[in-house]
Structure 1
């Protein structure tokens, strides 16, 4: 009498918005799409924390504020990537996996803060050398776009290579296929 409807996932919702040729490419790269959705979520968290700290308690230390914001976003990223993006990969003991995740992410923090450091302290794109608008635009472009993209590329590569390697995920994939 009643038909059970298949649940619509976040990825399915995102894919529905894409044109058909792009949709087929993204279906083949579903893991990358999930990683990007996690990245968009942590991007919002990162910038929310960064700007909150930068305009309040760490007003004179914008690079420190950025590092703290990235650290908080990375903690959220671990949970989301482990439980969603790379759920069919891995298979290491949790403490080993977490240590590798945070090691790769720590390098990512270093990569992420290099562009705002260069912007502020090498190019001197800070007040009084430039206007407040130029300073804030340079901070956003260097920290939230350039730094984030460089770190994201490194983290995606590192997570797939060392933290959630495919060869350890065979059993997890079999279990996931049984539940899908």
Structure 2
């Protein structure tokens, strides 16, 4: 009968166009994972090593005295200065680790521009980390090894590392 379609004809006459590759949720998720897994893992590895170094240096400066051992260290009364010193050393190592390893596949931008942005972003990140330590020390009045390591090292590091990860990949080591 004209005008009446069988089920087989319906399927043939109105085919569903296959979706372009990469538009499905699974394909987009897979592509994002491939794109971000390696740099994120390497960024966290570099950060982890530098975190351990930063923590050790801070604790030695603030809580260890060469003459008296553990307790009140040489810079116990100046924790923000001690943290600033350890952040400066850690930042240099972080730049090298991220430039040479994490983002090594990206083109090298103008080194002067890259370093200036890195310094600016690290000053902001250091400020975030120092705020966490200062709040604990001067607002809450906590000055123990545990309090300093939780506020300045752990919480401060989480906040500053999150900021660094977002900004380094976009501004310091851009894809193009």
Give your verdict on TM over 0.5.
Answer: yes
Match of 2:47, SS state, is: helix
Specify the alignment match of 2:100 in structure 1: 83
Determine whether 1:147 maps to 2:161.
no
Change (3 A) 1:123 1:87: same
Counting only pairs closer than 5 Å after superposition, residues 1-180 of structure 1 correspond to structure 2 as 29-55=37-63, 56-126=73-143, 135-166=144-175, 168=176
CA root-mean-square deviation: 1.6
Structure 1 stretch displaced more, 90-99 or 116-125: 90-99
Given the superposition, is the C-alpha separation of residues 162 and 118 from structure 1 closer, same or farther in structure 2, using an over 3 Å criterion? same
Q: Which SS does the other structure have where 1:67 is aligned?
A: helix
1:113 to 1:145, Cα distance in 2 relative to 1, 3 A: same
Which of structure 1's runs of 4+ aligned residues deviate more than 4 A? 25-28
- State the alpha-carbon separation in 2 of the partners of residues 28 and 103 from structure 1: 24
> What runs of 5+ residues in structure 1 fail to find an aligned partner?
1-24, 127-134, 169-180
Report how many aligned residue pairs link the two structures.
Answer: 135
Query: Alpha-carbon deviation of 1:160?
Result: 0.9
Higher helix share: 1
Alignment partners' CA distance in 1, 2:113 and 2:36: 29
TM-score, with normalisation over the residues of structure 2? 0.72
Following superposition, the deviation at residue 57 of structure 1 comes to: 2.6
Q: CA deviation at 1:28?
A: 5.1
Query: What TM-score, normalized by structure 1, do the two folds share?
Result: 0.71
Decide whether aligned partners of structure 1 residues 52 and 165 sit closer, same or farther in structure 2, where only a CA change above 3 A counts: same
Query: How far off its partner does 1:91 sit?
Result: 2.5
Question: For the pair shown, which has the larger CA radius of gyration, 1 or 2?
Answer: 2
